[in-house]
Amino acid sequence: MRLNGKSAIVTGAASGIGRATAQLFAQEGARVLAVDLPGKALAEAHRDHNTISVLEISVADDGAPEAIIGTAIKGHSRLDILMNNAGVASNALAEQMSRADWDRSLAVNLTAPFLICQQAIPHLRESGAGRIINVASVMAEGTGFGLAAYCASKAGVAGLTRTLALELGKFNITANYLLPGAIKTGMTTPLWNARPDVADIWAKKSALRRLGEPTDLAKAALFLASDDGAFVTGHGLTVDGGLMLRV
């Protein structure tokens, strides 16, 4: 098992990429703290995994970073892997976007990962082989109508992660980010189900002619979290089935 004896945190873990990653990490030997809202869905998602504990909290709440890291250390006595996956998306043209939508996107997608990393760094340093994995998006390098807040926040995740890699390398901590493409997640599945034609369009844009599954991202995260990825840092790993080759 590639993560035997490791302790991990995965945010946004009630569904989609976070759920798949938390469960794969557990299968590979890690003890995992799964963080998300709502608590009922979170507990239900992981009820069959006795090495996954859950914490119901919004990553953007005041005091959430301290609570998340504190809970992991209290339960596991150490922290080796941090995966900031929780995210939100809003869709409005820049001219029409509300300040509340802008602030919410930045708070969840960028500020929360920064603050959680800040709290985690001392414990990752003690690990001796700490791993930070932040989830950005192919929209960190692309764009689309109505995605000003989302694109800005995800581009910020990329810049933040590269800086963390530079600053923390001397402690043998790696920091990398994932760039998912069109993935079947809790955020996107309702759209695909409501508009199969839209799902088909996005699938055909991919070089592999399909939408991504959460497990596609979980396997990429496992590589970065394990010893296999020990010499990879400051890197954005695109997992999009070749979507951006056609955009």
Region of 213 please: left (phi>0), alpha (psi -120 to 50) or beta: beta
How far apart CA 88 and CA 138 sit, in angstroms, is: 15
CA angle 129, 131, 136 (to 5 degrees): 165
Closest by Cα among 16, 50, 12, 15 to 30? 50
Give the DSSP H or E segment for 151: helix 148-168
Catalytic residue (choose from 150, 177, 192, 202): 150
Q: How far is CA 81 from CA 18, 87, 100, 129, 135, in A?
A: 13, 18, 32, 9, 14
User: Residue 150 catalytic?
Assistant: yes
Q: Are 92 and 42 in contact (CB under 8 A)?
A: no
How far apart CA 194 and CA 211 sit, in angstroms, is: 15
How far apart CA 22 and CA 33 sit, in angstroms, is: 8
Q: What residues act catalytically?
A: 150
